[in-house]
Amino acid sequence: MSEPAPDPRPAFVLIRPQMGENIGAAARSMLNFGLEHMRVTAPRDGWPNERAVALASGAGRLLDDAMICDTTEAAVADCTFVFATTARNRDLTKPVFTPEAAMAEARKRGARGEKVAVLFGPERTGLENDDIVLANAIVSVPTNPDFASLNLAQCVLLMGYEWRRSDDMPPAMEVELAGTDWATHAEMDALSVHFEERLDQAGFFWPDARAPAMKLHLRNLWSRLPLTRADVQIFHGMMRQMVRWKDRG
């Protein structure tokens, strides 16, 4: 019987968090994006923490399973690659990743069987040099330089989002068709012909010398419009109704 594949998901390590509410919110953010390996070092208000449970809102099992450590060294002892999230380099020469690139790298390493961790600093001070020196690389979020500090749970949410995107990135934009399909070229051509016929009857294409160019521009307009079959039927109906109204006059 073959052994199960190693879990590629990184561990999110909260270093000396000060508020239970932020630990709970971080757990909720992690589970939102399918991350379940939480580690916590030296939480200021002790452990377990009722405020963390209250803010976890359904993600309490992450808190139940969280690895509680005394030091950063202990929290990353079994890891092969560690990222440190920080807005400042602190004079340490290290590769600096964007969140997107960091999580793509984490996924590649995890797929190879490596254990990856991401460090998040305490709310008041962020990570100290003694923490950052243990990391292989830094993750820097391109925030406003005049107000760069992120809330702990916000930073966890951002990194979790990028982790999820690195796996199955959804399209940047998509259109949900409500009970219809996109119009075919034949249907668009029939609509164009209908408009040309009715506009011709109305005397729109004048003077005669300009008619070919006007019709060409009109057809080009239709080709730029992403119309559905329902849209095409509405346009046909509009033209038919306009003709009926004209005939009644």
Does residue 207 have a cis peptide bond before it, meaning omega lies within 30 degrees of 0?
yes
Give me 74's structure tokens: 């202990």
Q: C-alpha angle 177/178/179, rounded to 5°?
A: 105
* Helix boundaries (H) for the chain: 20-32, 50-56, 60-65, 72-75, 99-111, 129-132, 152-167, 185-201, 211-224, 229-248
Report, at the CATH architecture level, how domain 11-167 is classified.
Answer: 3-Layer(aba) Sandwich (3.40)
pLDDT at residue 179, as a whole number: 81
Q: For residue 61, give the amino acid letter.
A: R
Up-side HSE of residue 201: CA atoms within 13 Å toward CB?
11
CA gyration radius, the chain: 29
Angle between helices 229-248 and 185-201 (to 10 degrees): 20
Helix axes 152-167, 20-32, angle to 10 degrees: 10
pLDDT of residue 144: 87
pLDDT at 124: 81
How far is residue 187's CA from residue 193's CA, in Å, rounded to a whole number?
A: 10
Cis peptide before 48 (omega within 30 of 0): yes
pTM of the model: 0.72
Give residue 219's pLDDT.
Answer: 85
- What span, in angstroms and rounded, lies between the C-alpha atoms of 110 and 112? 5
Question: What residues does each domain of the chain span?
Answer: 11-167, 185-248
Classify residue 22 as left (phi > 0), alpha (psi -120 to 50) or beta.
alpha
Q: What is the pLDDT of residue 11?
A: 96
Residue ranges of the chain with per-residue pLDDT less than 70: 1-5, 88-90, 168-174, 243-249
Rounded CA-CA distance 220/209 in Å is: 19
Tokens of 227: 């119309």
